[in-house]
Amino acid sequence: MSNRMNGQWRLKSRPIGMVKESDFEYVEEPVPELGDNEFLIRNLYFAFEPAMRGWLNDVKSYVPPVEIGEVMRAGTVGQVVESNNPDFSPGDFVQGQLGWQEYGINDGKPSMMGAVSKIPEGIPPYLVLSALGGTGLTAYFGLLDVGKPKEGDVIVVSGAAGATGSVAGQIARINGASKVVGIAGGPEKCAWLTDELGFDAAIDYKSEDVTARLAEECPKGINVFFDNVGGDILDSALLNMAQNGRIVLCGGISSYNEQELPSGPRNYMQLVIRRCTMEGFIVIDYLHKAADAIKVLSEWIESGELKHGEDIQEGIENTPKTFLRLFQGKNKGKQLLKIAEPPL
C-alpha cells in the first residue's frame, strides 16, 4: 500500500430541503498502489455547480445519483504525481470528475462523466473549471445554439453574477445584442455586471420589483431570456417577453433545495399569447462540439472581450461550506475551492 493518505468528503445522508454541511463526512484512507496503465493525480481545485444539488437526490436524472458513502462527485483540476500510463507523465496538469478528495486514480479511459484529459500548456489550470470548462461551454451552447440570438436582440440573464450567467451575458454582448440586462442579488453583484462585465443594466432582485424593472429596461420585450433561476424570476420574464421570444432553461436554483417542488410557472400561458418557445438543455449533449467552442472562448478571453470571475475559497476542510455558498448567494463568478499547491 502507498504511504499517502487520501482525505475524502463522502455523502453521509441525503439532504432534506436545504443541503447542510452535516450531510457530508470527512474520512481518510490509504492511497492504493497503481495498477497497470493507471496514474495518480493530486487534486488542486474543486469546482462547484448548482446542479450538484440534484445529484444528491435518489431520483433518476441525466446522471445517476451519488450513493450514500460515495465520494461526492465534482469537477477537479490536478497534477499527475505518479504514472504507469505512457500518455500521462508526472507533472502533467489534468482535469476530470475526480470528486471531493485529495487524490484520484485513473486510467485515462472514458467514463460516465467523461475522461481525464490534459490541460494545454499556457492555460491557468483553474480556468478549465471556469470560462474554458463546463461553465463557459454551458453559456456558449445555451445562448447560441438554444437561444439563437439575432443581432439587435434584447437579452436578459438571470443568475447573472453566477458562473454561467456572467459568461452568457458577455457572449450576448459580443454577438451583437442591442441590450443585455442581468438579474442578480445585491448592489455589489449588480455593479460588477455593469462596471466590469459590460452589461447594459442590472436588476437587484433582492431590493427591486423585477417585473416592473424588466418592463422599464425592455419596453419592447425580451427576445432571449437565459434562465438560471426559475420560480418568480421566470414568471416575471414571461410577462415581459417579446413576440416569438426564446427562453433558455439552463437551471432553476430557486427550487433546488425545496422539499416540495413549486407548481410551475403561473404565467406559462404567455408562451401561447406571445408565441414564445421555452427549451431546456444539458451541456453534455454538446460536448462533441466542445473543441471549437473552447477555441472561440479562448480567443475572446485573450482579446479582452470576455472577462471571467472566480470566487476561490481555500482548504479541503471547507469543502461542504464552499458548496453551500452557491445556495446562500455568496459567490460572484465561478465557485472554486483550492485545496493544494502543485506538488511537482
Asked if pLDDT for residue 324 goes beyond 90, the answer is: yes
Give the model's pLDDT for residue 305.
Answer: 97
Instruction: Kindly report, residue by residue over 20-41, the tens digit of the pLDDT.
Output: 999 999 999 999 999 999 999 9
Instruction: Kindly report, residue by residue over 169-200, the tens digit of the pLDDT.
Output: 999 999 999 999 999 999 999 999 999 999 99
Per-residue confidence at 112, pLDDT binned at 50, 70, 90?
low
CA separation for the pair 298, 295 (Å, rounded)? 5
Per-residue confidence at 114, pLDDT binned at 50, 70, 90?
low
Kindly report the pTM of this predicted structure.
0.91
Q: What is the mean pLDDT of residues 205-220?
A: 98
Instruction: Kindly report, residue by residue over 280-302, the tens digit of the pLDDT.
Output: 999 999 999 999 999 999 999 99
Give the model's pLDDT for residue 163.
Answer: 94
Pick the closest to residue 114 from 95, 87, 101 (CA basis).
95
Alpha helices in the chain (DSSP H): 134-141, 163-174, 187-195, 210-217, 231-238, 270-273, 290-303, 319-328
Give the model's pLDDT for residue 296.
Answer: 97
Give the model's pLDDT for residue 288.
Answer: 92
Mean pLDDT of the chain: 94
DSSP-derived pairing of the beta strands 93-96 and 76-83: antiparallel
**Burial class (CB within 10 angstroms; exposed 0-12, middle 13-18, buried 19+) of 217:** middle
Asked if pLDDT for residue 141 goes beyond 60, the answer is: yes
Q: With DSSP H G I counted as helix, E B as strand and the rest as coil, what are the percentages for the chain, rounded to 5?
A: 30, 25, 45
Q: What is the mean pLDDT of residues 80-106?
A: 97
Give the model's pLDDT for residue 263.
Answer: 73
Asked if pLDDT for residue 259 goes beyond 60, the answer is: yes
Identity (one letter) of the amino acid at 336? L
Question: Which ranges in the chain are annotated with CATH 3.90.180.10?
Answer: 5-129+309-338
Give the model's pLDDT for residue 245.
Answer: 98
Range 134-284: architecture per CATH: 3-Layer(aba) Sandwich (3.40)
Asked if pLDDT for residue 1 goes beyond 60, the answer is: no
Domain 5-129+309-338 has CATH 3.90.180.10: yes
Give the model's pLDDT for residue 60.
Answer: 80
More reliable by pLDDT, 272 or 123 = 272
Pick the closest to residue 4 from 38, 34, 35, 36 (CA basis).
34
Give the model's pLDDT for residue 85.
Answer: 97
Q: What is the mean pLDDT of residues 209-220?
A: 98
Q: What is the mean pLDDT of residues 294-314?
A: 96
CA separation for the pair 156, 208 (Å, rounded)? 16
Per-residue confidence at 3, pLDDT binned at 50, 70, 90?
confident
Per-residue confidence at 122, pLDDT binned at 50, 70, 90?
confident
Q: What is the mean pLDDT of residues 202-223?
A: 98
CA separation for the pair 127, 119 (Å, rounded)? 10
Q: CA torsion angle for 33, 63, 246, 276 (degrees, to 10)?
A: 180
**DSSP for residue 298:** H
Question: Which ranges in the chain are annotated with CATH 3.40.50.720?
Answer: 134-284
Per-residue confidence at 253, pLDDT binned at 50, 70, 90?
confident
DSSP-derived pairing of the beta strands 201-204 and 222-227: unpaired
